[in-house]
Structures are given as structure tokens and as C-alpha cells.
Amino acid sequence: MKKLFLFLASVLLSFIGVAQQPAASCGAKNSNDQCCQKEQHDGFTTLSVDPFSKAIRQNDVVLVDVRTAKEFAAGHLKGARNVEWVKAFEENVKAAALPKDKTIAVYCQRGRRSLAATQVLVKMGYKVLNLDGGIDAWQKAGKPVVK
């Protein structure tokens, strides 16, 4: 019994160690030699603030804020469209008529809602970028917001 417990504990610790490692697939490194620029997922890419900032300046990118209308009104990224993350998100996307021939760059407050929205957008056939850390990370990096 003790051997089984030790085996299970070692397996669990090895999984925790792997989960805490930075994504190795991003290919870009910072001055500390850590991967921090982007993380590839099935059908979408999560970008840190600077690469996201560069990406949204492209003509073929539509910027989407999935926060509530109240959060959006309090401050958002310039040029963003508000498509709220709610139970009827797919219907909101259809109503917003987001173009499928363009990349959709998504963000929220901290990154959780945008990650969920990103997964739905991919299932709907969109190419998607997600802002890691949301508008909080954006503002912490000193990037501007508009009201």
C-alpha cells in the first residue's frame, strides 16, 4: 500500500512539474531566455501584450472585447468591438457579423472569458488570437485604453 501511495504521489508531482513549465512551442524568447511571446493551441494562438499589440495593427485583424458593456464603456482597446461573452455568445458573434476571412483578436479583463470565447470562435471557423492576461496585462504594460 505504501509503495502504491509513493508511486501515485511521484506521478502526480511529475504532472504538476510539466504543467508549470512555460510553453516550448512559441519560438520567441525574452532576455531571460524564457518563452513568453506566444503559445500555440488547437486553432488559435495566445500572445503576450507586445506581440498582440503588433498583431492588432494589421488590416486583416478584427479586435473584439468580450467583456460586459459596462466594462467596455469603462475603458477598452482602441478600435475594439464589444461582443459580450454570455450563454448566447454564438448568437452575439453572428449578430456582430464578424468576418471569417479576417483574424479575430480577442481579449477580456484577465484572460479567462477570452480563452473560452476563443475556443467557441475556433469551433465556428474563425482564425483567432487571444491576449494573455487580458486588458489588465495590457494596462500593466503601459498600453493605452480609450473610453
Residues annotated as catalytic (active site), given as ranges? 108
Give CA–CA dist 122/116, Å, rounded: 10
* Cell numbers for 33: 531566455
Give the bridge partners for 103, in sequence order.
61, 127
Give CA–CA dist 25/16, Å, rounded: 19
Give CA–CA dist 70/35, Å, rounded: 34
Q: Is residue 122 within 8 Å of residue 128, measured between CB atoms? A: yes
Parallel/antiparallel/unpaired status of strands 103-107 and 61-65: parallel
